[in-house]
Amino acid sequence: MIPIVSIVGWSNSGKTTLIEKLIAELTIRGYRIATIKHNRHGFEIDHEGKDSWRHKQAGAVTTVVASPRKVAVIEDVESDYGIEELASRYIRDADIVLAEGFKENPFPKIEVYRTELKRERLTGQEDNLIALAVDSTISCPEGVLCFDRNDVSGIADRVGELFLSGRN
Q: What is the mean pLDDT of residues 129-133?
A: 91
11 within a domain of the structure (yes/no) = yes
18 within a domain of the structure (yes/no) = yes
| Residue 63 pLDDT > 70 | yes
49 within a domain of the structure (yes/no) = no
Q: What is the DSSP letter of 139?
A: P
Instruction: Specify the 3-state DSSP secondary structure of 157.
Output: helix
Q: What is the mean pLDDT of residues 82-106?
A: 92
**CATH (domain of 100):** 3.40.50.300
Number of domains in the chain: 1
| Residue 28 pLDDT > 90 | yes
127 within a domain of the structure (yes/no) = yes
CA distances from 145 to 10, 37, 66, 115, 127 (A): 19, 24, 42, 17, 14
pTM of the entire predicted model: 0.87
Tell me the CA end-to-end span of the chain in Å, nearest whole number.
15
Q: What is the mean pLDDT of residues 85-96?
A: 93
Domain range for 133 is: 4-43+79-164
pLDDT tens track for 99-116 = 998 888 899 999 998 877
73 within a domain of the structure (yes/no) = no
